[in-house]
Each structure stands twice: as C-alpha cells, then as structure tokens.
Amino acid sequence: MLTVPEDGFAFCPVRDVLDRVGDKWSLLAILYLGSAEQLRFNELRKNIAGISQRMLTVTLRSLESDGLVARTVYAEVPPRVEYQLTDRGQGLLEAVLHLGQWAKEHAPAILQARQQALAPTKPRSVNDLG
C-alpha cells in the first residue's frame, strides 16, 4: 500500500513529468526525435501531423528549457536548425515507453469500458448498487 507523504503529494515528481509531457504535442515531439539522430524544424513539422508552426516552436522551446532537447543553429543562409534529444530526453523517452507498455496491454479494456459507460441501459441513480 502506498503511503501518503507529509506534504500530501504537493511535491510530486510524477505530476511534474505529467505536466511536462501531458500537453498536446510534447510527447509526439519526443517520440519523433527519439526515432532519428536529429531533425530540422520543418522535418518535425511534417512528421507531427496537425501541429501548427506556433505550437511546434512553443513545444520545442519548453522541452529545450528543461534540458530534454538540444537546439543547434548553423550559421547558414537559409538558416538550418537541428533538434535532438539530450541524454536526459532519451531517458524520459524510455521511462515513458515503459508506461506505454502497460498502456498497450490495457488500452483495449479501457476503451471497451469507456464505450459501455457511454451507452448505459438506463441513467444511473443512487439506487444502483453495484
């Protein structure tokens, strides 16, 4: 059984990670960067289906500021900027893929449960016991 810390989970590393990769695009960026040595801005943009230019910038900047992604600017014209996972980013990717293992195994059951919850025979009342 898990024990509640004195701070009542106010300091919670898990929450921190989730806040970092729980947004709409960070995980995808990490996944794609994890599948190549390095990628240019527009390569990422093409890969990550549906992402806007703005959100790709915002996402990369915040990953960079956490030391998860390294940004390298080449003094060329037209400019070339390459992104790659840092070791720390690589570590996060692996930790997250581990979670993905659990997810992969249980996603079907969860999805099924969710579907059944959506189509109840009748609306639930306080009298439904189990």
Partner DNA sequence: CAGAATCCTTATGGATACTG
Partner DNA sequence: CAGTATCCATAAGGATTCTG
Q: Which residues sit at the interface with a copy of itself, rule CB under 8 A?
A: 1-4, 8-10, 12-18, 20-23, 27-28, 31-32, 34-36, 47, 49, 64-68, 72-75, 79, 88, 91-93, 95-104, 106-107, 109-111, 113-114, 117-118, 126-130
Report the nearest approach of DNA to the CB of residue 40 (Å). Answer: 4
CB of 78 to DNA, least distance (A): 4
- Of 64, 17, 74, nearest to 40 (Cα)? 74
Q: What are the structure tokens assigned to 115, written together? A: 């579907």
- CB nearer to a copy of itself: give 50 or 54: 50
Considering only residues 1, 14, 37, 50, which one is a binding residue for DNA as defined by CB under 7 A? Answer: 50
Between residues 65 and 101, which has the closer beta carbon with respect to DNA?
65
Q: Which residues bind DNA (CB under 7 A)?
A: 23-25, 40-43, 50-55, 57, 60-61, 71, 78-82, 126
